[in-house]
Structures are given as C-alpha cells and as structure tokens.
Amino acid sequence: MSVHIAAKKGEIAKTVLQPGDPRRARYIAENFLEEVKLVSETRSILYFTGLYKGKEISVGASGMGVPSIGIYSYELFTEFDVDTIIRIGTCGAYTDELKVFDVLNVNNAASESTYAKYAWEIEEEILPPPGHIFSLLNKTAENRSLNLIPTTIHTSDIFYRKSQEIPEIAKKYNCSAVEMEAFALFANAQYLGKNAATLLTVSDVIPTGEFISADQRESALKPMIELALEAAMNI
C-alpha cells in the first residue's frame, strides 16, 4: 500500500487507464469492465480493477494538474509495478482547425512546469510519450477506422490567467491544444523506464467558444475510452 493509494500489492493491473475525474473512473469501470473490484478510495480518488475481454485492467483517477498526476503515476509505477499508464482526458483546442469530439494522441507535451527538472533533473521543456504505446494507439485506431490525430500539446499549470493570449511556450512548439497532466506523466515514465501515453478528447475550442455540454460528455468520451481499452489488449 502506498501513501495515496490504499490497494494491496497485486490488486492493480500492469496496465492502468488514468482519467482525471474519479467519477469518470467509476463510469469506465462500471460500463466497460467485468468482475470489477474497488481497490482504493483514499481521499475519494477511486481505483478499480476488472476484466476487459478477459484481460485485467485497472482504472483510477489522477486528480487535476501536474503535482497530482505526478504523485499518483509515480506510486503506480513504483509501488504497484505498473508497466503502462494511458491518460485519458479532455483538452481545450488553441486552434479552430480542431473540433469538439476530435480525439488526439499526444506525440509531445511542452510545458513551463519545473516538475521534470526538479524531480528528475530532466532539463527538456518538451517530452515525448515514453515507450511504444503511442504507436500502438495509432495502429489500434487505424484498425478501428477511428480518426486519431497525433499532435503536440501544452501542459499548463494554470487554468485561469490574466492574459488571453496563447502562452509563449505553446507558440514556440506549435501546440494545438492545452491540458494539465501529460508532461508530468511522461517525465515520470521516462525517468522510471515505463510506458506512458495520453489520449485527449477536445472538449472546447478556445478561439470559437464551442464546447461539449455536460450532457454530451459521457457519449463524447466513449470512442477514446474504447480505443484505450482495445490498445491495452495488445500490451
């Protein structure tokens, strides 16, 4: 048992799907997995383990932001011997070339965050997804005729800011969208020699103000969830 995850050794699978929201973790567990067991609910951050088409998969929340996913992904990798984490989340598009409901496969996460530097002495401000899962997701999407968009995104520590301009680092790396966790997940996986990937569904388009309503969210995220689960079958 780790500091923040109360599961026992062996109760978390080698592959974990990691949404930010605990309620989304419950939704995935209850609607996509069989023989589901709640293995941790410390601080109301829920972790479940079950079977998807006979393969053991865990799903659990990361919370919001770099510090939170930094903690949870690190403990999964080190305390529970997890090999692969696939983050499944939402993002805001910086460009109207993206549309709501688009599914993105992050090929680089750029960030102003000091997390990688001060945690692991990783100096780069842009990180790729470590391991082979990025390519596996692309192949799985192709087999399912799903339009999956590989792209560079901005991982920001800031949700509200004074300036409405696109941050300089996002301009520097031509980031198409913004979220708050991928950079830390990639840093942890790089340092520990693990596999990580991030799938994102575009929930709002910043230039146009278009967004997915609360009522649409569950159905909107279904293609991304199913893609992650199908890819997990081949890990």
Q: Would the pTM of this model clear 0.75, i.e. be above it?
A: yes
Torsion of CA 65, 22, 53, 195, to 10 degrees: 20
Active site residue 21: no
Burial 59-73 (b: 16+ CB within 10 A, else e): bbbbbebbebbbbbb
Q: What percent of the chain has pLDDT over 90?
A: 94
How high is the mean pLDDT of the chain? 96
Q: pLDDT tens digits for 186-202? A: 999 999 999 999 999 99
| pLDDT tens digits for range 125-140 | 999 999 999 999 999 9
Q: With b meaning 16 or more CB within 10 Å and e meaning fewer, what string describes 75-90?
A: bbbebbebbbbbbbbb
Active-site residue (options: 21, 96, 157, 204): 204
Q: Is the pLDDT of residue 11 over 80?
A: yes
Q: What is the pLDDT of residue 215?
A: 78
> Which pLDDT belongs to residue 214?
76
Any idea which of 24-28, 114-118, 155-159, 214-218 has the lowest mean pLDDT? Answer: 214-218
pLDDT (average), residues 33-57: 98
pLDDT for 1 equals 63
Q: Please check whether residue 95 is in contact with residue 151, taking contact to mean a CB–CB distance below 8 angstroms.
A: no
